Amino acid sequence: MSKVLFFKKPAMKHTLIAFTLGALALPVWAADPPVPYPADYREWHHVKSMVIDQGHPLYEAFGGIHHLYANPQALAGYKAGQFPDGAVIVFDLLEATAADAAITEGSRKVLGVMHKDAEKYASTGGWGFEGFAGGDQTNRVVGANAADACFACHAPQEDHDYVFSRLRD
């Protein structure tokens, strides 16, 4: 039940349900607070990019060309090696079209988000994880599955506050 307390305003209805259903096993609606959609991320610092091609072990999930963006708090976090609350990193995955000896960008596949809040997301290293299919802020593909779908792979990066990417010049 304790996680229900982390819900702020949007959790009112869920809290009522929680009290009603009482003794049931930990329900889906007791997940961590939803990760906010990062409305202005295209104005943030472009950290780096990468193309993941067929044959790569992550192709199924992340095939295409992706760009990482950091808000100012995350940019400070990259430099410090530890990210403050409020740091947000976006993994912007686009289709990669290979033709005529070039790879060009296509439509958006998914917008991945890591949002740092040590208290709200304590169970996943202090990071909230979400994916917005096609960049659509109403189409959340991670939801309550962040621990399995995201954090399990990020956990070995503990020495860099669970972030894979590094800042370059």
* Residues near a copy of itself (CB under 8 A): 42-43, 45-46, 48-56, 59, 65, 67, 69, 100-105, 108, 135, 168-169
CB within 8 A of 105, min separation 6: which ones? Answer: 65, 94, 95, 96, 97
Closer residue to a copy of itself (CB): 4 or 96: 96
Task: Report the relative pairing of strands 88-99 and 102-116 from DSSP bridges.
Answer: antiparallel
The SS3 of residue 21 is helix
Closer residue to a copy of itself (CB): 15 or 97: 97
Tokens 């070995």 label which residue?
156
DSSP 48: E
Closer residue to a copy of itself (CB): 53 or 148: 53
**Measured from the CB of residue 89, what is the shortest distance to a copy of itself in angstroms?**
14
Closer residue to a copy of itself (CB): 24 or 101: 101
| Distance separating alpha carbons of residues 41 and 36, to the nearest angstrom | 12
**Measured from the CB of residue 164, what is the shortest distance to a copy of itself in angstroms?**
12
**Measured from the CB of residue 35, what is the shortest distance to a copy of itself in angstroms?**
20
Contact 69, 42 (CB under 8 A): yes
| Distance separating alpha carbons of residues 55 and 164, to the nearest angstrom | 20
Closer residue to a copy of itself (CB): 40 or 159: 40
**Measured from the CB of residue 143, what is the shortest distance to a copy of itself in angstroms?**
24
**Measured from the CB of residue 57, what is the shortest distance to a copy of itself in angstroms?**
8
